[in-house]
Structure 1
Amino acid sequence: MLGATDIHRPDQSPKRTRRSRGRNQPKPTRFISLCSLNDQHGIYPVSITAPLDDQDRNSRLVPAEVTSVEGMTTAAKAQTLIDLYDAPEILRVVNVWDVVGARAVAALPETKAIATAGHGIAASFGYDDGSTPRDVMIDMVGRIAAAVRVPVTADLDDGYGDAGETTRLAIAAGVVGANVEDRLKPLAESVAAVEAIIKAAEAEGVPFALNARTDAFVRGGGRPVEESVADAIQRGRAFLDAGATAVFVPGILDANITRQLVEGIGERKVSVIGLPGALTAAAYEALGVARISYGPLPQRVALTALQELASDLYGTGAIPAGLPALN
């Protein structure tokens, strides 16, 4: 919990010598995440601002030009994301679940786009994966999109029963692409959802980068792998025909399965997830895969580091030195 001395408002700040500013030029601010209770959804994020002092400004790792959202329209960001799918190099996106994590990843020069993690956002708010209310999800992915300059693609679960309206809300929040999963619903129903997403995006004037997800492997049960491959290819082709940019096939895919999917769906049209036991990004790239994301893995790594730190503090009590100020 933040104490009273952790937040200085302009009328409470200690006096210090500063360079003069223009009369109408606002003081730079930093966002401090707090939590408040929301009757409907439990813990819900709010933000307040506090002045950013000279020391913070000079030591902050995330450069202003990365976190600025000025200069690019939503449509331009969307086209940039589509171009990244089409590029010869595999698009590597690290999944984030909050604003501070998004800014830390966006500060890296290798970051070309950011993906949100539906599982990670759900866990952050205490929901099971796939059960985050739509307004909570849209609020968080919108905060992330507003905090970084690179294109943001969001995990929008199964579209929340109205994939077109969910897409419209996501675009209004600044999101320019999405994963929407089929959950192995009947093919016609899944294709209709893809069509609704594309229609909604066209109405907004945004070339939305839909990474249409098929759960042919993760929800395939104990059926033979050949059936899952055939199902993924059939669904993937139908999704592309309906306007999707790429087809996301989560699962631990070896080289043989990946090769079949790329041959059946199309080169630079298949998206995969990086998991322990899966191929490397470079290996997937050589097989013609368009994109690799990492789902809940980044959050698990971060939480493991937090637990290890807590264990050390409970033990030796030694405080790590030389940590960059990422928050």
Structure 2
Amino acid sequence: MNQTDKAKAFTELHRKGDPLVLYNIWDAGSARAVAESGARALATGSWSVAAAKGYGDGQDIPLLQLVDIARAIVAATDLPVSIDFEGGYAEDAEGAALNAGRLIDVGAVGINFEDQVVGGSGLHTLEAQAARIKAIRATADEKDIPFFINARTDLFLKVSDPVRHAPLVDEAIERAAAYAEAGASGFFVPGLSNPDLIARVCESVALPVNIMMRQGVPDVKVLAGLGVGRVSYGPGPYRAMIEWLKGQASGVYQRG
């Protein structure tokens, strides 16, 4: 498939009640391993990509290095590849769109794009984030790629206690509607774990909803029943791999 075909296929994999499952990768090697395990598409997690290169999360890894990693992943597999783009490496809409264009140019078919102010505090206003999404959509349209913009809201990650998430749902739904109108393809709500609240978001949002697996989140079968359209694993796979590596190395050195 060419890039356009991959982008179309990636979009079609997002179905409410039959979610696309993404076991997140961080480089070309992990991409091949996950692809060979039966994945239908691939997606990076920003935390894992940064950690694998010795950086912290939050756009610490240089943009051009991220683009090079994206290029290598795309070259290593025939599957559609989405890149965790964090906040777009720019505050303004034009800069974020220009940077997204770099990922399109190396073959990516989608991004995660978050509304928190990376390196600052709080979230971008609804209007500002919608403008940023609209600019990225315009860039993708200019390149004639049906790019998947997975619009992420950090509302729930900013409040660590799940008991306090219910009052945030209305704002999340409002943001989802604005992001959809601006050209978003999906709506990502990391940190949300309560089944009733997940179901409410899925019922109220036209876009396929992405849930991130973490402690307290229902399993994939339950999430499918709630109407989720995409399930991702975030930094979990990388962290598990590192713990395995530490265990293996400890065994070697302790025996020695």
Partner of 1:233: 173
Trace 1:103-182 onto structure 2 (pairs within 5 A): 103-109=32-38, 111-130=39-58, 131-161=60-90, 162-182=95-115
Query: In structure 1, what is the Cα distance between the partners aligned to 2:106 and 2:180?
Result: 25
Task: Note the residue ranges of structure 2 that are not aligned, 5 or more in a row.
Answer: 117-122
Cα offset, 1:220, TM superposition: 4.2
Q: Which structure 1 residue ranges, 4+ long, deviate > 6 Å from structure 2? A: none
Query: Which has the larger displacement, 200-209 or 127-136?
Result: 127-136
Trace 1:186-265 onto structure 2 (pairs within 5 A): 186-220=125-159, 224-265=164-205
Query: In structure 2, what is the Cα distance between the partners aligned to 1:213 and 1:145?
Result: 23
Cα offset, 1:133, TM superposition: 1.6
Cα offset, 1:316, TM superposition: 3.2
- Check conservation: 2:173, 2:204, Cα contact below 8 A: yes
Task: Note the residue ranges of structure 1 that are not aligned, 5 or more in a row.
Answer: 1-71, 318-327
Partner of 2:120: none
Cα offset, 1:86, TM superposition: 3.2
With normalisation by structure 2, the TM-score equals 0.91
CA displacement 1:145-171 (0-9 Å, x = unmatched):
111111001100101112211221001
Cα offset, 1:315, TM superposition: 2.5
- Check conservation: 2:15, 2:230, Cα contact below 8 A: no
Per chain length, whose mean CA-contact separation is higher, i.e. which structure has more relative contact order (CA < 8 Å, sep 6+)? 2
Cα offset, 1:221, TM superposition: 6.9
Q: 1:301 aligns with which of 240, 244, 248?
A: 240
Distance 1:171 1:302, change over 3 A: same
* Matched position secondary structure for 2:43: strand
Letter in 2 for 1:193: R
Cα offset, 1:192, TM superposition: 0.5
Letter in 2 for 1:194: I
Query: In structure 1, what is the Cα distance between the partners aligned to 2:172 and 2:75?
Result: 34
* Matched position secondary structure for 2:61: coil
* Matched position secondary structure for 1:89: coil
With normalisation by structure 1, the TM-score equals 0.72
The higher radius of gyration belongs to 1
Cα offset, 1:228, TM superposition: 1.5
Letter in 2 for 1:163: A
Distance 1:227 1:88, change over 3 A: closer
Letter in 2 for 1:155: D
- Check conservation: 2:109, 2:148, Cα contact below 8 A: yes
Query: In structure 2, what is the Cα distance between the partners aligned to 1:292 and 1:87?
Result: 11
RMSD: 1.6
Distance 1:189 1:81, change over 3 A: same
- Percentage of identical aligned residues: 34
**Alignment size in residue pairs:** 244
Cα offset, 1:265, TM superposition: 1.2
* Matched position secondary structure for 2:166: helix
- Check conservation: 2:148, 2:184, Cα contact below 8 A: yes
Trace 1:245-324 onto structure 2 (pairs within 5 A): 245-266=185-206, 269-316=208-255
